[in-house]
Structure 1
């Protein structure tokens, strides 16, 4: 399709990546939880040891190409099944949905996972995001929270600081 182009993100894309992260957070009614800065994204995603990888989708039809979607991912390791690709964030702007952009991004991520010998791709989806849940299920995704009973937890920074400085 000539309507969009997928490519690996570059440092110049950081402002657009942050814009799309904020749009995704707003879509999920969590806009106030985005504390990341462009500086964080630049330092953490580009350089010798990036913490994440990112694909961007561009609309090349504009005078200056516009970033209209992104997928942020990283590789991790599960001691039961080995390497896996973890899809952290995935978003396409509302006005560009329905053109197959999301499907092409997921196809490219699947190719990346297979090429990297990953056993699977993992991700979380907000419980109320039925459109995304159905999107993934149509492509063979299994809901582990229902099928295997896994629950997601987090330890926030203040608790990490408290534990790290606790006397042993």
Structure 2
């Protein structure tokens, strides 16, 4: 089995979208994905790309992805955020996640970032173990804070 890790292309976005939906189901949020394939194409391949995506490919089929974007740390400087590292359920345990993480870390190193950050669900013990085994610090004393679209609108309405 030959695994190829490469930069994604615009024409990969339908397969990327399928994996994103597979992850949403795995994370018990099957109805949470509101982006479209066109959003991915426009946002990833427009004049100012909003993300960089690597795909894992076997026999011309995308079986995994890692999607990152630029961040800035007031303490550390340049950083990237790993939004998702997804491996199709049927392909887990074959080293694909490791190869994708390798690519993300090399990418960050080449960019000269001081930090690569991401979140992991507290119940996803296989992912936590994988990340810790690879030297990541899973910071269990931090909480993720978000305003979703409805909360943003509600917030703005109070200004």
Alpha-carbon distance between aligned partners in 2 of 1:128 and 1:151, rounded to the nearest angstrom: 14
Equivalent position of 2:97 in the other structure: 102
**Runs of 5+ in structure 2 lacking a partner?**
none
Alpha-carbon distance between aligned partners in 2 of 1:124 and 1:132, rounded to the nearest angstrom: 10
Equivalent position of 1:47 in the other structure: 46
- Which portions of structure 1, spanning 4 or more consecutive aligned residues, are displaced by more than 3 angstroms? none
**Runs of 5+ in structure 1 lacking a partner?**
none
Q: How many residues align?
A: 159
Equivalent position of 1:72 in the other structure: 67
User: Mean Cα displacement is larger for which, 26-35 or 127-136?
Assistant: 26-35
> What RMSD, in angstroms, separates the aligned Cα atoms of the two structures?
1.3
The 3-state SS of whatever aligns with 2:31 is helix
Give me the TM-score of the superposition, normalised by structure 1.
Answer: 0.89
What is the CA distance between 1:165 and its match in structure 2? 4.3
Alpha-carbon distance between aligned partners in 2 of 1:33 and 1:103, rounded to the nearest angstrom: 27
Q: Pairwise mapping of residues 16-165 of structure 1 onto structure 2 (< 5 A)?
A: 16-60=15-59, 65-144=60-139, 146=140, 149-165=141-157
Give me the TM-score of the superposition, normalised by structure 2.
Answer: 0.94
Alpha-carbon distance between aligned partners in 2 of 1:126 and 1:132, rounded to the nearest angstrom: 9
Distance change (3 Å), C-alpha of 1:3 and 1:152: same
